[in-house]
Amino acid sequence: MADKVTAGRDVLGEFAPKFAELNDDVLFGQVWNREDQLSARDRSVVTVTAVMASGVLDSALQGHIERAKANGVTAEEMTEILTHAAFYAGWPKAWAAFRMAKDIYG
């Protein structure tokens, strides 16, 4: 991942500086950059699926769908990912994710 993520510091930097540091420097700075183990594209597929399955159907999911698109996941692939995950994560969660994906891929 070429872009340095600063979302943690931007949103929570003053309130929860350690959490912001872990989010930006460890999760996105180290884990997401381990492309020898898993490509950014594949990491996006896993992350979108996990976030949707956990029921986080807000801007976090939206951001990860946007990142997936930027990492090369096509609209057709995203619809297949969400359809497949719906049977495990739940139909209402998939509906919410599809609304976001439709807006993003529009």
pLDDT in tens, 49-77: 999 999 999 999 999 999 999 999 999 99
- Dig out the tokens for 80 from the structure: 């297949």
**Of 50, 54, 52, 47, which is closest to residue 28 (Cα–Cα)?**
47
**Domains in the chain, start-ordered, CATH in brackets?**
1-33 (no CATH), 39-105 (1.20.1290.10)
CB of 67 closer than 8 Å to CB of 44: yes
So what's the pLDDT on residue 87?
Answer: 97
pLDDT digits (tens, 9 = 90+) for 1-27: 457 888 899 999 999 999 999 999 999
